[in-house]
Amino acid sequence: VSLAIHRGETVGLVGESGCGKTTLGKCIVQLIRPTSGEVMFEGQDLTRLSDKELQTIRQKFQIIFQDPYDSLNPRFTAMDIIGEPLRIHNAVQGKAYRDSVAELLDLVGLSPYMAERYPHEFSGGQRQRLGIARALALQPEFIMCDEPLSALDVSIQAQIINLLGDLQTKFGVAYLFISHDLSVVRHISDRVAVMYLGRIMENSGRDELYKTPLHPYTQALLSAVPIPDPEVEAHRSVIVLSGEVPSPLNPPSGCVFHPRCFRAFQDCPRIIPALADAGGGHEVACLLYKTSYP
């Protein structure tokens, strides 16, 4: 996997369940230490840092987890939860600590008087706001958002999307937004990377990717997105992929997508297509595009 995330931008990472999106996200923020490769952050390879060095630099990159309930300690109050990064990094003390937590609560649309409540006293959307406030506490430059909306109702999802957008405008924070929901990713991302079985299949600017998807897998994913117009929805054609996602422990030879690809040809089981520029920064890993031959 090779992926660049620039300052202040949102990169959407999409793909079916089990394709490795969360593993990639965890490798980037070093919740999983990768066994090979590099994770460069502001010129430093995170994989080579000691635990102590990593703890220091971790102030600059944070995480919003998928399940807002599971990711909050039920014995902690909102004050303890949001203030934990401030305590660990000795960022503020005394009254400044309480003021910082109150400010963070306010920033994510919660009232400072809620600081003494426990997670079970908040709704699902409010809990995710707590998770976002905790991620923002140390003013990070990058946040890995691991399916932050999937446990929320649609109306609450919209509020959280808007909140993330507002916070990015205000603080210039970059997001890796992991999701299997292509409509949400289209709304929130500047660029989109499509993953399949542990590999990036396509990577492009958001508008380009949704207008002209090149990879057959992306074409199939996009064809399955519902269109909110009953006339168009009734007549659109959906590309149905046959078979199951193969095991990543025993991936198919050549292009890993070939057993399910509706455009596969004789070279596909033999040659691994490299992710290559197909023009204008649009990258694709498919042998149909001449640039991808090794």
Enumerate binding residues for ligand SF4 (CB under 6 A): 215-216, 255, 257-258, 261, 263-264, 268, 273, 286-288
- Residue closer to ligand SF4 (CB basis): 108 or 278: 278
- Residue closer to ligand SF4 (CB basis): 221 or 287: 287
Measured between alpha carbons, how far is 132 from 108 in angstroms, rounded to an integer? 7
Count CB-CB contacts under 10 A for residue 279: 11
Comparing CA positions, the residue from 88, 61, 81, 180 lying closest to residue 126 is: 81
CB of 230 to ligand SF4, least distance (A): 32
CB of 187 to ligand SF4, least distance (A): 27
- Residue closer to ligand SF4 (CB basis): 25 or 273: 273
Long-range CB pairs of 126-130 (<8 Å, 24+ gap) are 127/68, 127/69, 127/72, 128/64, 128/68, 128/152, 128/156, 128/160, 129/160, 129/163, 130/68, 130/72, 130/78, 130/81, 130/82
CB of 286 to ligand SF4, least distance (A): 3
- Residue closer to ligand SF4 (CB basis): 77 or 219: 219
Question: Tell me, what DSSP letter sits at residue 198?
Answer: T
- Residue closer to ligand SF4 (CB basis): 149 or 286: 286
Comparing CA positions, the residue from 248, 244, 240 lying closest to residue 197 is: 248
- Residue closer to ligand SF4 (CB basis): 205 or 252: 252
- Residue closer to ligand SF4 (CB basis): 71 or 204: 204
CB of 194 to ligand SF4, least distance (A): 11
Count CB-CB contacts under 10 A for residue 231: 8
The one-letter code for the residue type at 55 is Q
CB of 252 to ligand SF4, least distance (A): 9
Largest Cα–Cα distance in the chain? 69
Measured between alpha carbons, how far is 112 from 101 in angstroms, rounded to an integer? 8
CB of 238 to ligand SF4, least distance (A): 18
Q: Count CA atoms within 13 Å of residue 145 on its CB side.
A: 36
* Contact indicator for 146, 64 with CB cutoff of 8 Å: yes
CB of 196 to ligand SF4, least distance (A): 9
Instruction: Give ∠ CA 159-162-164 in degrees, rounded to 5.
Output: 110
